[in-house]
Structure formats: C-alpha cells, structure tokens
Amino acid sequence: MKRIGIIGASGFTGAELLRICANHPEFQVQTAAADSMSGTKVSDLYPGLAAEYEELVFSPTDPDVFSNCDLVFLCLPHGASQELVPELIDKVACLVDLGADYRLKNKDLYPLWYDEPHLNPELLSEFSYGLPELFRDEIKESNLISVPGCFPTAAVLALNPFTESESIEKSGLIVDAATGVSGAGRAPKDNTTFCAVDENYTAYGLLNHRHTPEIEQVLSEKASDEVSVLFTPHLAPMTRGILATCYARPIKDMDTDFALEVLDSYYSEEPFVVVDERSPSTKATFGSNAVHLTARVDPRTGHLIVISAIDNLGKGASGGAVQCANLSLGIPEMTGLTAAGVTP
C-alpha cells in the first residue's frame, strides 16, 4: 500500500483525487492539507466523500508532515508549488504537480505568460511532462511529474498525431475549446456564479491564455519543429468537461477516412483513448479518465477538424495525475481509474 499525501486537497482537483484514491487498491491517503480549510472535516466540505473519509480532517501545509508519504500530489494555484517543491523533494519519493509551475521548460516563458519569473528554474528540466500517451517512458523513469493543463490535454491529444506525422501545416493551428465551471476552481468568482454562467456562453483569455505556450511546447517537441497555435477558451454552463475543436490545413492528400485512421493507428494501444466517427460529447467522458476523439476533412474549405472531449477534472487533471503516479510507482497504469463515463 502506497502512502499518499495531497496538498491543496480542498479544491476541486484535490476532491477528485480523494474520490479516485478511495477506490484505488494501492493508495491510502495519509494527509490531506488545505490551509484555507485547516481543521475542517473532509466530509463536511464534501459530503459525497463521507463514506470513505468520515474522520479525515484537512491539515495545515507543513512539508515535514509528508516525509512519511510515498507520493504527494500538489493541487495548488500557480506559484505555490514553486515554494514547496524544494522543501519536499528530499522528503518524498515521488511528487506529482497538478499546477502549472513545472510544465514549461523555458524559464523565459514564465514572466511572459505568468507575469513573474520562476523561483527555481534549475528544476524545470527535472520534471517529466505527465501525458502518458506521449511521454510514457519518461514518466516511468521519473519521480518528479508535471501534469498537463486540462486544455493542453484535450488539444494535444487531438492534434499531435497529425503534427508529428507531418500531415498538416504546423503554423496557424486553431483550437477553440469550451470548459465547465469547475475549471475555474472552488473559490467564488463574479464570473462563475450561477447567475453569471446559467444560459450564458463566453470566450475569455483572448490571445493570451496561459495554456497557449504549453500546447505549442508539446506539439513542437513531438514534431521536432516549431508549431504555432491560436487558442481561444470558452466558459460553458456545465460543471465538468472540455470540448476542443481544432482546425488545421492538411499538407497531404487526406479525407475523413484517412484522418480517422491516423488517430486510430496512433492510439490503437491506448487504454484511455476512444477514436470513433461519432462526434464526442463531454457527457460521455463525465467521471472518467478517457478522451474521445473524432476527425473530419472538409473538401470544400480544405480544412481538417479534430474534436476531443475530456472530463477536465478526470483526464484533464486528477485522473491524469493518478495515471502518471501509477506509472512512476510501477503500478499497472489503469489501476483505480475507469475509461467509462457516468451515464445518464
């Protein structure tokens, strides 16, 4: 049994980790830290977890408390992990960071996209990028893992088979993606109240969303060439889910059957990837660690369209984090996870 710690456990990704860990045969949560909720019972904040965590109480974030853990998940806002990782790195065998602090490999991108320099840039190269479908071998050999953002997970899994195979133009890719309100976190915000979100649909982060350089970084690395992306996120009136619609220009003869075969061939051995002619829906991935993909080629305009759907808290965050943790700890990759969504 692996002893698990969660820092930032009171947020939505922390709560999802607690839910997944409760059904994981190899994981036992030892400590759930959350400074803002310190002293509160997990079951009081999240009654849905009461059957599994009736007595567990959120604790203060003290790095020394986690020295008895085999693995620690960090579910913190940007900047917070940078302060904790140097203190934890010698205390814990494996760290899995769900935040953005160690995703970008170029330290110069942090002031541009996150408005402040990185506190320990020497550690950026030590973290593996936690997308098993693309970096499984690296994750298996790593004890420091940075889980992708939810939007990059959806966009990269959709586009990478085409950029890596040099089937499409690598500049001017377009990603339009809609997310559920849980992507904004548990803290109340004016634009995420019920009245603001209900019957509303809005674009945000125009031209400057922080996930843009992450999408470009991963696609460029796998393609061994520079890839540029115009990314526009949208907030949809739903709790969970991401639907990403990606547009590209083919540079090879391509029709819809060929595009679907590219996806199907690339992900044929992947347990959490569903490729189908059906148009993906967020509801189909609800509560799962799956990504659903499809593709179309429009002969009239000459565009390739690739669509992906994920649960932003599942494959897009906590589910992906557990998938990476399993690989790093030598546990079968699918342990504790499901590819089946909740229906209805």
Q: Is 195 a catalytic residue?
A: no
Residue 152 tokens read as 């990059």
Q: Residue 125: exposed, middle, or buried by beta-carbon count in 10 A (0-12, 13-18, 19+)? A: exposed
Helix (H) / strand (E) containing 177: strand 173-179
**CA 99 to each of CA 138, 186, 214: distance values in angstroms, whole numbers, following the listed order:** 19, 15, 12
The CA–CA distances, whole Å, from 141 to 132, 145, 164, 300 equal 12, 10, 23, 46
**Residue 211: how many other CB atoms lie within 10 Å:** 24
Phi then psi for residue 121, to 5 deg, are -60, -20
Give 229-297 as a 3 state SS string. EEEEEEECCCCCCEEEEEEECECCCCCHHHHHHHHHHHCCCCCCEEECCCCCCHHHHCCCCCEEEEEEE
What length is written for the chain? Answer: 344
Token readout for 136 is 């499984």
Largest CA distance in the chain: 62
The active-site residue out of 69, 94, 150, 324 is: 150
Identity at 76, one-letter amino acid code = L
Alpha-carbon gap, residue 3 to 307, rounded angstroms: 38
CB 289 within 8 A of CB 320: yes
Catalytic residue set: 150
